Structure 1
Amino acid sequence: MATNITWHASSVSHQERSGLRGQKGFTLWFTGLSASGKSTIAIALEQYLLHLGLAAYRLDGDNVRFGLNKDLGFSEKDRNENIRRIAEVALLFADSCTAALTSFISPYRSDRATARELHVSRSIPFIEIYVHVPLAVAESRDPKGLYAKARKGEIKEFTGVSAPYEEPENAEIVIKSGEKSVEEEVVQIVKYLEEKGLLVRREKTQGQ
């Protein structure tokens, strides 16, 4: 761990940055089994927020492993580090007053708690979204054929089969995948954000 480093605080406060950008920053942390529908919902929500004129960026589990986390495997230790890095990146986006959407299985409660605490320490809203789906349903979908490979022993430490998934105990939003359309699931999330005062249109903020 580096020791000869110094934290340089920004000359612009988070509140001032929010006012100038006309937007509040926050992290939406999608968690759930593989094939639960996390990415599908996150993609639709990102598009919706962008059409509102808001800055939004989605961090996807597979995509991040092509670059930032390509040196990590799927052992428990590597999964811990994978989520730690993503939490830090999401915080940077949210601190810049961007809506950060993360779509990761993130199977361990302790890792998700660490991500939350990181945001809380900086007074950045962190919203955990549990996309719930029964394991049998997720396996029946299996769009990438991963469950089938895991059952054959071709994939080691696969969440839900040979590695655990610890369900969230106090997620802000719970989506029961498959019971609603994607559009209705997006509306569910948007309503929550509106109720919490996190969706602020740029025009309104500039006029204040």
Structure 2
Amino acid sequence: FSKEDREENVRRAAEVAKLFSDCGVITICSFVSPFEADRKLARLIHEDFDLRFFEVFVQASVETCEARDVKGLYEKARKGIIESFTGIGQSYEAPKNPDLVVNTEVHDLQASTTMLIDFLTVQRVLPEFGETIEELFVDEKVIEKARKEAEDFPSVEITDIDLQWVQVLAEGWAAPLKGFMREDQYLQCQHFNVIQHDGGVINQSIPIVLPVNAAQKGRCADASALALKYKDRAVAILRRPEFFAHRKEERCSRQFGTNDAGHPYVRMIHESGDWLVGGDLEVLERIRWDDGLDRYRLTPNEIRRKSREMGADAVFAFQLRNPIHNGHALLIQDTRRYLLEERGFRKPVLLLHPLGGWTKDDDVPLQVRINQHQSVLEEGVLHKDTILAIFPSPMLYAGPTE
């Protein structure tokens, strides 16, 4: 490639990386990028949009690069078959002040990868997860006090779908959210596909919100807390409630790319209240649906514990809202083979993760799907090292940000 070709290649890559980064995706680009000016331009392209950029110098001598060359490109460059080859016919301007140096002559693949992951963790690009996920259930020691408090607060009756979101929040599926989104979180999610947390940002492209109508808002606007009731039974307390306008057309257009009421979730949004209320959630009890399937409703912490008990050194997840078909089975089988044979794991465990919240009427019912999943496992189509656990979220039916 000519110098101009390389400049344009790096510029285009930086522009595409910016689009991904702007959507909250952590984007790693691997390019020769031999010229300092091009690397500075790539940084500027990101920083002009308030996006973080890190220059990582993957260091190796020309001799080492040539020894690793499986395509024989260095040999062709030395024979003059390839012109303007970096390190042979074209100079390489080593970074003067990179954010990270990974010397691959000193560190092997695993150590080099760990260095990058550790760097991104320190920079708060990668989220830190402890041994457990924070749940939003009230401590058993104060549960009776909380129940009595709930009796004195104004109440909002919630729907099946609202309760499913309560379950998602309570069990930690949406961690680090502490409750239904307040307006600042909602706007971050809608416009940037992230929410701010602990000095950084985390990916969050789906708004988790609680709609209420004008009468409910009027009755509860000055309250310090609300009781959320399902079928007239208090299931949670919403502390420090914050009411804000439910801009339905904007929400649908941003989340789904359409405002057409023919879309099932868009229709539900338009039929819901004109206000949203956010706040800190304290859930009074584990959500049970008493449909014979609660034993499959494992929380993230329970799935982690079960994985450790099974001796898993890797967990791979397959999430679906349909019966398992042949294509699903082939993907799952091939992923297991890849983890064992190409990645060197000894005990990969499959998390088979059917969506268990609301689906439209013509979808296959959850009970039928669970029965089918069990049959597939019993017949040995999938390996026995499998955890079958329901994901409690409602189905949103796609969209550009889901």
Task: Sort the TM-score into its range (normalised by shorter chain).
Answer: 0.5 to 0.7
Query: Partner residue of 1:191?
Result: 118
CA distance in 2, matches of 1:112, 1:200: 26
Measured in 1, the distance between the counterparts of 2:177 and 2:75 equals: 53
Q: Which has the larger radius of gyration?
A: 2
User: Could you list the runs of 4 or more consecutive aligned residues of structure 1 that deviate by over 2 angstroms after TM superposition?
Assistant: 200-208
> What is the CA distance between 1:142 and its match in structure 2?
1.6
TM-score of the pair, normalised by structure 1: 0.62
Deviation at 1:195, TM superposition (A): 1.2
Structure 1 position 100 matched with structure 2 position 71: no
- Quick check: 137-146 or 114-123, which moved more? 137-146
User: What is the CA deviation profile of residues 71-98 of structure 1, one whole-angstrom value per residue up to 9, with x for unaligned ones?
Assistant: xxx1111111111111000000000000
Q: Which segments of 5 or more consecutive residues in structure 2 lack a partner in the other structure?
A: 129-172, 180-402
Deviates more, 1:126-135 or 1:186-195: 186-195
User: How do residues 1-208 of structure 1 correspond to structure 2 at under 5 angstroms?
Assistant: 74-200=1-127, 203-207=174-178
Distance of 1:110 and 1:102 partners within structure 2: 17
Distance 1:163 1:175, change over 3 A: same
Give distance in 2, aligned partners of 1:116 and 1:81: 15
1:5-34: per-residue Cα shift (whole Å, max 9, x none)? xxxxxxxxxxxxxxxxxxxxxxxxxxxxxx
Q: Output the CA distance in 2 between the equivalents of 1:182 and 1:205.
A: 32
Paired residues of 2:11 and 2:42 also in contact (CA < 8 A)? yes
In the alignment, the residues of structure 2 paired with residue 175 and residue 134 of structure 1 have an alpha-carbon distance, to the nearest angstrom, of: 12
Whichever residue aligns with residue 83 of structure 2, its letter is K
Measured in 1, the distance between the counterparts of 2:63 and 2:109 equals 20
Question: CA offsets per residue over residues 77-123 of structure 1, 9 Å max, x none?
Answer: 11111111110000000000001111110110000000001111111
- Separation in structure 2 between the aligned mates of residue 182 and residue 207 of structure 1, nearest angstrom: 38
| Secondary structure of 2:58's aligned partner | strand
CA contact (8 A) 2:35 2:92 kept: yes
CA distance in structure 2 between the aligned counterparts of 1:179 and 1:108, rounded to whole angstroms: 24
**Aligned-residue identity in percent:** 37
Q: Distance in 1 between matches of 2:17 and 2:43?
A: 11
**Alpha-carbon distance in structure 2 between the residues aligned to 1:204 and 1:174:** 33
Query: Counterparts of 1:207 and 1:198 in 2: how far apart (Å)?
Result: 21
Which amino acid is 1:118 matched to?
I
AA of the residue aligned to 1:169: K
Query: What is the one-letter code of the residue matched to 1:159?
Result: T
CA distance in 2, matches of 1:90, 1:123: 14
Bigger mean CA deviation after superposition, 192-201 or 122-131: 192-201
State the structure with bigger RCO (CA 8 A, min sep 6), 1 or 2: 1
Q: Secondary structure at the match of 1:158?
A: coil
Q: 1:194, CA displacement in angstroms?
A: 1.3
Structure 1 residues without counterparts, runs of 5 or longer: 1-73
Secondary structure of the 1:130 match is strand
SS at structure 2 position matched to 1:204: coil
Matching residue's letter, 1:134: S
Q: Residue 204 of structure 1 aligns to which amino acid in structure 2? A: A
What amino acid sits opposite 2:176 in the alignment? T
Q: Which amino acid aligns with 1:160?
A: G
After TM superposition, give the deviation of residue 203 of structure 1 in Å.
4.1
The structural deviation recorded for 1:197 is 1.2
Alignment root-mean-square deviation, CA: 1.5
